[in-house]
Structure 1
Amino acid sequence: MVDPVSPSRRSRAPAGAFAILLIALVGCQQELPTPDLAGTSIEAQKARDSRPGTYHNALTINAGPLGKVETCADPDIVRGQQPGDRHWYLYCTTDPLNAKDRDANGNFNFRLITMAKSTDLVNWTYVGDAFTQRPAWVRPDAGLWAPEVVYLNGKYHLYYTASDTVAGGSAIGVATSESPTGPWVDSGGPAVEPHPAPCCADSRRWTFDADVIQDSSGQNWIYYGSYFGGISVRQLSADGLRSDPATQKEVASANRYEGSNIFVKDGWYYLFVSATDCCRGPLAGYSVFVGRSLTPEGPFLDRDGVDLNATYVGGTPVLTMNGNRWVGLGHNAVFTDAAGQDWTVYHAIDRRDPYLAEPGGLNKRPALLDPVDWEGGWPTVRGGLGASDEVMPAPASQPGQRSTYRVAKEKVAEPSKLLTAYSDEFNGTVLDKAWTWVRPPAPAAASLEGGALRFDTQAADLFEDSNNASVLTRPVPQGDYLVEVKLSINLPDSGCCFNFSQAGLVMYGDDDNFVKLTQASIWETRQIEFGKEQAPVPPGFPRYGNTVLSAAAPNAIWLRIAKTTDNGEELYTASTSRDGTTWTRGSTWTHQLGSNPRVGLVSMGGAGFTARFDYVRVYNVKQKFPK
């Protein structure tokens, strides 16, 4: 999706001296001897050239006198297909190149899908925009988003989202070219037309974010969709220009996912999808999840066997916040380098430099690159380490190069010694004296019964200025620790809408500074939400942001938050389990909750439901490699 705006402080790369040197070298190239660097033989130099270099996120895209391309949302990468073409090509959604990319009136130049090329997948050169004007069937003020480029029938096909059309509603368009950089000739109409969401006959669904594959039989398929309407797949014509509505199937729930990307490996179709808000600056919780299927039409199940199209919606986390500077990671594309190593390109936001210009405006979403590993048939980024913010071995971009990337695994926080003084099994008849209420509920709304805390949901909330929900809190130990709760909340197994009834765990500094992990009803889905609120913030900055985790559960759910520290920052990492034994790690929020944070329990967002907390357990933390 497009970001409807982040101050650039990067200087332009000097060009003049380099250009003079380059001209001199080209003019003299017939007289230059073959280099033999550091006295090595030509064979040794060739061996050295077979090893890729290094890179550091974000990717560098040079635009000559226009400066650096500082935002490349919804990126897609393809390799040149014509004989002799050694380049890779990068495509980005409609955005300005950088904060200085403005017209004579000072307004941003929204470029209609930027294009860049590279021979090493690391250093990129901007080569222009796919379109100089919108196709006639697209409204003149529409965005052209989320490029997807594939090579079919000897031509490059550029699929794009038209955010609005002359006919009304969003659609997927397609243009073709003999070259990966155009000129692009539009097909004259949508490949996927505006049409209703499955829920609502008179609506216009969000027909966004195309991805196209061809299966082993030669059948083309197009995936598309976003939060309103969910994600669907259709058969695509042999020429790649039109899809068949009669073949449409829904493969991922509405109000959960967008940005679909299909990657085929070892007979499986892996559906990568992105969830939550792409564009909340330093509080963007955008994250990538995956499910897989043996057929292009699904069903796509996550690692726990939960359908991405279920009410308690499935999805195994692949790429999410890990505590470094990168937040809002998503809308990825997976590809394979020349040495057979898989990689993913995606956009993210630097939480310390989130905007192209004024705060709260256009989000700066540069393109990032990281290796994809496979564990037991499931993808993981950098062996679980996630987005990189250090020097990394570059991909093998050319035939004959050898990959120098080696998988490393991250140590994860797991419970160690149970700290009984900070824990509660709720086996008594009255609350332990360590518990105190922030805004006590009505006496009948909460009680101990049957070895659990019963806590009715309230028509109240803990959100920005709406701080009227009751929070049951108690102290936590100094230093690092892990909190675990087991709970259930009797939300309906299907149906809409019970927004935003929820229950769960809060690491509470005060009403405006906390992280929250709850099982929640979100439109027609049930999800695990992991949110962060902070105050005060600079003018224009958001106060609340959220992400989601793996599948919720209708009967009982186990939730954990591990608090650790790194370079003076507090890191809060969430995990979930559907059985209390097998845990799936999710995102990490950074926060500063002050000198006396407390663990809290909430049951709120809408009256009419009941949560039961079986226990609250607080542990020391140990760091270990996952199995």
Structure 2
Amino acid sequence: MRVHRTVPAVVAAVTVAAAATVTTAGSAEPTTASEPATAAAESTRSYTNPVTEGVVDTFPDPTMIRGKDGAWYAYGTTNPIFNSAGETGEHILPVLRSEDMTSWEYTGDVYAAGEQPDWWPTNARAWAPDIRYIDETYYLTYSLSSGGVALATSASPTGPWEDHGLIIPAGGSGCPTGNIDQALFTDSDGTHYVYWGSYDLICVSAMNEDATALVGPVTQVAKGRRAEGAFVVERDGYYYMFYSDAGCCQGAFSGYTVKVGRAEDPRGPFVTRQGVDLMEPTSKGSIVAAANGNGWVGPGHSAIQTDLAGQDWLVYHAISADDPDFPPVDGATGGRLASLSKRPMMIDRLEWIDGWPVVRGGAGPSNGPQQAPVTTAAVGSAFDEGLPARWGSAGSADARWAAGSRPDAGGVAVQTAAPAEPAYLVDRRPVRGDVRVEGDVKLAAGGSSGASGLVLAGAGDRAGDEVVTWVDRAKQALVITVTADGETFEYETPLPDTFDYQSWHTLAIERRGSTVTAEVSADRLRDPLGRVSAELPAGARHVDRVGVASVGAPAVADNVSAVPLHEPVSERVPEPVLGEQLDEYSDEFDGTGRPETADPAWSWLRGEGSDATLGGGALNWSTDGTELWRGSNTAPVLLRDTPQGDFVVETKLEFDGDRPAQQAGLVLYENDDRYLKLTHTVLGMRFGGGDVFHLTEFMKEAERPTTTPPIDVFTGPMFGGPAADTTWLRLAYVYDEANDEHDVRMASSTDGEHWTWGGAWSLPARDPLRIGLITMNAPGAAAQFDYVRTYDLAATGAAVAGSEG
């Protein structure tokens, strides 16, 4: 609940005059002139994916946190990270460090090989770490390949780590699925949650106060074929659950895709942008990132990180189609691993458009130079070299600011007194316009009163005007006080009863136009413990000096930064645009009898004996137990030529399949071992019960060049939007001349008007592709194709994944 009231002006005027001094032993006298901030509104640095290139060979399932020393730390799944340097084995949960989120260095492993906890089952490998910061402790949870979720804690982001054993057992957790791929989340009431699950089901449970054990009921929140890797954030009153589905780790044939659902409660129900509940037994839309034909496949298992400008970044892994696989390697805990894929760490801008997240506005994974995260303050200090000369004290005459240090943070600013009136330490350089201010704050002593915070202060003729955000122990609230023209307004929101005011918390303030919003969190992972907003009167809209604040108790501050606030993207990239219908390559199926008789442009591959017949304005055709998969090529395929140039082929399909593996749909076919297939497919659920999924499934079969000899594979699907009794399917074809490839992107719809554009497969060009229809696998399902329509591709639009109409 947010409280607003007008109160008498009690805050002393903040004067950052030229003669202001810093009260601290051994600190430099401030300069006598204000120094304006010169940083641009956006980072001038660039980066290119993968950000771990040249550092480690692979870094699957990455997660990231900003440490209290101001650096970023990333953690990855056990993998052979130095195989290219001649190492034949793996590193157990490797750790990387960066000052800027893009340039990384290896710092060690959570567990050295051979030194893992002795309770681990034989040959178990540690997967999918998640990192959090709770009560000044780093919580690293990880999964074991044998099942179960374990916890290790440390006072440092690089360890040493204390083992706490399993917090979710391998079986009997209350979630009937793979008990792996966990992530923690702390709600604004202080309740800790853990999300976990893999291969078809994701669950959530509350945890105890110190986040070491499950408490209360286990709730199922998502069903999806191979759904896993949940990661939850809160934004604008909604809880967003990011997850990945489809084929994770099949090298260049990996169809992994990042998707999202949102809810009004941490336990769901989570729904897609199209309103489909994530518990519905169908494939899902709301695609965040999918392969887009630019050489990166299988983007997935994501986390989120935020730069100093407030821009969110998706942290994930992907696989290079040009260098997808390792040779056989020795497992870290024993055994020989014959089919590991290289999955380096990627980052890309995460845009929030109309309340839904998508990578690069829908453009998907990047493969060229990109604008880098903002990680350097325009104004501010990490206090690692004491209190800068340009900083001055203001407010209470009782202020006693001094340079200090803490083992976990390095240099800090310390208020050694307990001033009765607010005391400030302010950087005299101005930062103007829309701005984001961030800092780590805490109280240095116990008690029931006192507050620490950040200030935006006026100077010159605006001296006395200010915006202060307090983490207030007496009120147990996050408070914004706004003073302008002698009048003070106060806004507050309660903080959890469990909030520890003597632990580090990150306080962030964003001023955009006339609105200021503040939030406080333990770990900057989009799980705020409090958020409050205020409308600024005219006099407070231009306060431009940044500093730290304390009142009523000694306080400590660190990592203070102010940078121009990021500019949000408001529109998605365009989706492909259909041009003129090409009648020569289309068929409305208005005739009777056999399709090849009614339109000789059709021809059969193994289909002369099928029951495919025209009638009622549709092609009617049943599944018959045949197959199109590697050496089992018995399914009939109805084929016709493709047009010259880029095109889109579409069909409207009614399908009543109810048994696993039944499917019908479109195919772009070269031969039995080289094709792309988009179908309404029925697949069983791994957790039993006889239930099935109805999916829009996009598959590729071709040679896998990293096998000796190259063999065809067919294991890594992509899943698009939901399938229904009637589903519209599209394949958009683009010839990639630079790489001599067929790039084909899928789309599906349940009403023929609103389309979910999914991922793209690339197929090295050899012989021409042909348009085809197929029904296959378990017998007894009836398919009705209302038409096949082929169009010029008037504009490729995004020609990438993630755009929904």
Normalising by the smaller structure, the TM-score range is 0.7 to 0.9
Instruction: Tell me the distance in 2 between the aligned counterparts of 1:236 and 1:575.
Output: 40
- Shift of the alpha carbon at 1:400? 2.8
1:183 aligned residue (142, 155, 160): 160
Asked whether the equivalents of residues 289 and 316 of structure 1 are also in contact (C-alpha less than 8 Å), the reply is yes
Output one character per residue of 1:468-520: Cα deviation in whole Å (capped at 9) or x when no partner.
0000111121111110000011023xxxxx22110000001111111000010
Corresponding residue of 1:467: 633
Residue of structure 1 aligned with 2:782, choices 588, 606, 610? 610
Q: Report the secondary structure of 2:262's partner residue.
A: strand
Are 1:332 and 2:312 matched, yes or no? no
Question: Is contact 2:698-2:720 (8 Å) kept?
Answer: no
Which residue in 1 is equivalent to 2:126?
144
Q: Give the gaps of 5 or more residues in structure 1.
A: 1-40, 63-67, 165-169, 493-497
1:351-500 equivalent positions in 2, closer than 5 A: 351-357=321-327, 361-398=339-376, 399-402=561-564, 407=569, 410-430=573-593, 431=595, 432-443=599-610, 445-492=611-658, 498-500=659-661
1:10-42, Cα deviation, whole Å (9 max, x unpaired): xxxxxxxxxxxxxxxxxxxxxxxxxxxxxxx99
- Alignment partner, residue 702 of structure 2: 534
Q: Distance in 2 between matches of 1:531 and 1:313?
A: 14
Which residue of structure 2 lines up, in the alignment, with residue 24 of structure 1?
none
Give 1 or 2: higher helix fraction: 1
- SS of 1:364's equivalent in the other structure is coil
- The alpha carbon displacement at 1:116 in A equals 1.2
Give 2:668's aligned residue: 507
Q: Does the aligned pair in 2 maintain the 1:414–1:482 contact within 8 Å?
A: no
Given the alignment of the two structures, is residue 235 of structure 1 paired with residue 213 of structure 2, yes or no?
Answer: no
Aligned match of 2:183 in 211, 216, 229?
Answer: 211
SS in 2 for 1:551: strand
CA deviation string 1:188-240 (max 9, x = no partner): x311112248797xxxx411111111111111100001006x11000111101
Distance 2:64 2:704 in 1: 40
Distance 1:441 1:294, change over 3 A: farther
Task: Give the Cα separation in 2 of the matches to 1:50 and 1:510.
Answer: 49
2:676 maps to a residue whose letter is V
Tell me what 1:112 maps to: 92
Mapped to 2, the partners of 1:51 and 1:433 lie a distance apart of 59
User: How far did 1:455 drift?
Assistant: 0.6
CA RMSD of aligned residues (A): 2.4
What's the CA shift for 1:125? 1.3
C-alpha offsets along residues 364-401 of structure 1, whole Å, 9 cap, x if unaligned?
11100000001111111001111001111111124334
Contact 2:246 2:718 in 1 (8 A): yes
Secondary structure in structure 1 of the residue aligned to 2:361: helix
State whether structure 2 residue 61 is matched by structure 1 residue 74: yes
Q: Distance in 1 between matches of 2:602 and 2:122?
A: 59
Distance 1:621 1:51, change over 3 A: closer
Opposite residue 713 of structure 2, the aligned amino acid is R
Q: Distance in 1 between matches of 2:580 and 2:43?
A: 46
Alpha-carbon spacing, 1:254–1:291, altered in 2? closer, same or farther (3 Å):
closer
Q: How far did residue 86 of structure 1 move?
A: 1.4
Distance 1:310 1:49 in 2: 43
Q: Is this contact kept in 2: 1:112–1:144, CA < 8 A?
A: yes
Instruction: Tell me if the contact between 1:161 and 1:173 (Cα under 8 Å) persists in the aligned partners.
Output: yes
Q: TM-score, normalised by structure 1?
A: 0.84
CA distance in 2, matches of 1:302, 1:254: 12
Q: CA deviation at 1:159?
A: 0.4
Contact 2:652 2:729 in 1 (8 A): yes
Question: Which amino acid is the alignment partner of residue 435 of structure 1?
Answer: W
Structure 1 residues 402 and 126 mapped into 2: Cα distance closer, same or farther (>3 Å)? farther
Partner of 2:251: 281
Stretches of structure 2 lacking an aligned partner (at least 5 in a row)? 1-32, 330-337, 377-560, 685-691
The equivalent residue for 2:170 is 194
Matches of 1:207 and 1:173 in 2, distance apart? 11
Report the CA distance between 1:100 and its aligned residue: 4.2
Distance 1:349 1:61, change over 3 A: closer
How far off its partner does 1:50 sit? Answer: 8.1
Change (3 A) 1:616 1:130: same
**For residues 61 and 353 of structure 1, do their structure 2 counterparts lie closer, same or farther at Cα, with a shift above 3 Å needed?**
closer
How many residue pairs align between the two structures?
Answer: 557
Task: Evaluate the alpha carbon distance shift between residue 450 and residue 49 of structure 1 in structure 2; reply closer, same or farther with a 3 A threshold.
Answer: closer
Q: 1:111, 1:257 → 2: CA distance?
A: 26
Matches for 1:596-607 after TM superposition, within 5 Å? 596-607=768-779
- Partner SS state of residue 271, structure 2: coil
Deviation at 1:409, TM superposition (A): 5.2
Q: Map residues 1-400 of structure 1 onto 2, 5 A cutoff.
A: 47=39, 51-60=43-52, 68-81=55-68, 85-100=69-84, 107-108=88-89, 110-132=90-112, 133-164=115-146, 170-187=147-164, 189-196=165-172, 205-227=177-199, 230-244=201-215, 246-253=216-223, 255-357=225-327, 361-398=339-376, 399-400=561-562
Matched residues in 2 for 1:518 and 1:196: separation? 36
SS in structure 2 at match of 1:412: coil
Alignment partners' CA distance in 2, 1:219 and 1:56:
38
| Alignment-derived partner of residue 552 in structure 1 | 722
Tell me the SS of whatever aligns to 1:383: helix
- Aligned residue identity for 2:228: E
Distance across 1 between alignment mates of 2:52 and 2:369: 14
Amino acid at match of 2:620: R
Work out whether residues 271 and 300 of structure 1, in 8 Å CA contact, stay in contact via their aligned partners in 2: yes
Q: Is the 8 A contact 1:508 1:593 kept in 2?
A: no
**How far apart are 1:136 and its partner, in Å?**
3.0
Identical residues among aligned pairs (%): 37
Residues 224 and 282 in structure 2, CA contact (< 8 A), matched pair in contact too:
no
**Hey, what's the Cα distance between the residues in 1 that align with 2:82 and 2:295?**
20
1:549 counterpart SS class: strand
Whichever residue aligns with residue 696 of structure 2, its letter is: I
Give the secondary-structure state (helix, strand or coil) at the position aligned to 1:247: strand
Question: Which structure shows the bigger proportion of residues in strand conformation?
Answer: 2
Native 8 Å contact 1:287 1:547 kept in 2: no
**Aligned mates of 1:575, 1:179 — CA distance in 2:** 46
d(CA) in 2 for partners of 1:199 and 1:152? 25
Q: Measure, in 2, the Cα distance between the counterparts of 1:404 and 1:218.
A: 29
What SS does the corresponding residue of 1:122 show, helix, strand or coil? coil
Q: Quote how far apart the aligned CAs of 1:102 are.
A: 5.8
What CA distance in whole angstroms lies between the structure 2 residues aligned with 1:151 and 1:199? 26
Instruction: Name the CA distance, whole Å, in 1 between partners of 2:35 and 2:47.
Output: 25
User: What CA deviation, in whole Å up to 9, does each residue of 1:127-160 have, x standing for no partner?
Assistant: 1111132223321421111110101122110000
Distance 2:99 2:157 in 1: 14
Contact 2:52 2:346 (8 Å CA) reproduced: no
1:527–1:552 Cα contact (<8 Å) kept: yes
Taking structure 2 as the reference length, the TM-score comes to 0.66
Q: Distance in 1 between matches of 2:719 and 2:680?
A: 10
Q: 1:615 to 1:199 in 2, by over 3 A?
A: farther
